[in-house]
Amino acid sequence: MDTISTWSVFVLTLPTENATARMRFWRALKAKGCAVLRDGIYLLPYTEAREAMLRELAGAIADSGGTAHLLRAPSLDVSQEREFRALFDRSEDYATFTQALTEARKTLAGQSATELARLLRRQRKDFDAIRGIDFFPGDAATRAEVALQDFIALVDTVLSPGEPHAAERAIRLLAIDEYQGRTWATRQRMWVDRVASAWLIRRFIDARARFIWLASPADCPRDALGFDFDGAAFTHVGERVTFEVLLASFGLDTDPALMRLGEIVHALDVGGSAAPETVGFEAVMSGTRQRVDNDDQLLEQMGVVLDSLHAHFASNGKNDAGGRS
């Protein structure tokens, strides 16, 4: 190891008469990933953002009657660098997280879509919390991330049996005029990508579309346009989910509001950064899926939600454009 890091050294004395404040500051230091050198002396790898956070915390400590000093210094040598980095080893945290995933796997059967979505959100949040303070990630981080992706895939399988594998092919631009009055088919008991894709087809591609909800992809009629299953005419390609593939295939990816919807669908279907509206959409989708009896009703009710979100994004886009003019 030839790298020598610069460290933020935080020296503090917490107010002795205010136990609540002491506990709050200890928790804040732990949450930010600070390592303990000794009582009252904490360490963080230096960045401007982390130092700004420590300065803010120092001000709060001073306001509560304590004292805090912030110093900055490099490791003296490679030996000290190793010693300091070892203080930030998150291997045990990752091991605990991976064990929690193992236990969670045993509970999936029989859970509702809402419960599974909540469980998945919690596991992602727990991983992100560890990863956020893992300043020197190594093999343990990689193993935990792989375990999380496997868990996500398992939950997706429970929520949406037959979830497609991503194909590797070019996405050709198609003429919408050639796709009118067609029969479209996808797997029944739709989840986010399929319901959003069906809405997109009827709303922007084929207003006279007729849908078939398949118990198995093998039941797809030869003259139907399948979507969101392996071997379908429209399915996952590379990093894009089916909704995004449909946008690109029919030249709809120039619509900023549809692209915003695509971000939500992508995040809920395969993960990734999520728009603020994502959690709300997921909750509405899950609740609607539990209330309705069939996929025609699901599309009808979720179509209203998607219409509203599209209108909201389109309106915000126009307001933003007006503000920039």
The residue type of 62 is A
56 within 8 A of 25, measured Cβ to Cβ: no
Cα(261)–Cα(263) distance, integer angstroms: 5
Its sign, for the CA torsion 221, 225, 227, 233, is positive
Cα(151)–Cα(158) distance, integer angstroms: 11
For residue 27, give both structure tokens: 């928790």
Rg over alpha carbons for the chain, rounded to the nearest Å, is: 25
Sheet containing 183-187, strands listed edge to edge, beginning at the edge strand earlier in sequence: 210-214, 183-187, 225-226
The residue type of 103 is E
Cα(190)–Cα(251) distance, integer angstroms: 24
Question: Domains, the chain, ranges and CATH?
Answer: 6-86 (3.30.70.240), 91-159 (no CATH), 176-324 (no CATH)
**What pTM was estimated for this model as a whole?**
0.56
Angle between helices 256-270 and 242-249 (to 10 degrees): 150
> pLDDT tens digits, the chain, 325 residues: what are they?
568 999 999 999 987 777 888 889 999 999 999 999 998 999 999 999 999 999 999 999 999 889 999 999 999 999 999 999 999 999 999 999 999 999 999 888 778 877 888 898 899 999 999 999 999 999 999 999 988 988 887 887 777 666 677 777 889 999 999 999 999 999 998 999 999 999 999 999 999 999 999 988 889 999 999 999 988 999 999 989 999 999 999 999 999 999 999 999 998 888 777 788 888 898 899 889 888 989 999 999 999 999 999 999 998 866 554 443 3
Cα(194)–Cα(187) distance, integer angstroms: 8
CA-closest candidate to residue 174, choices 210, 222, 227: 227
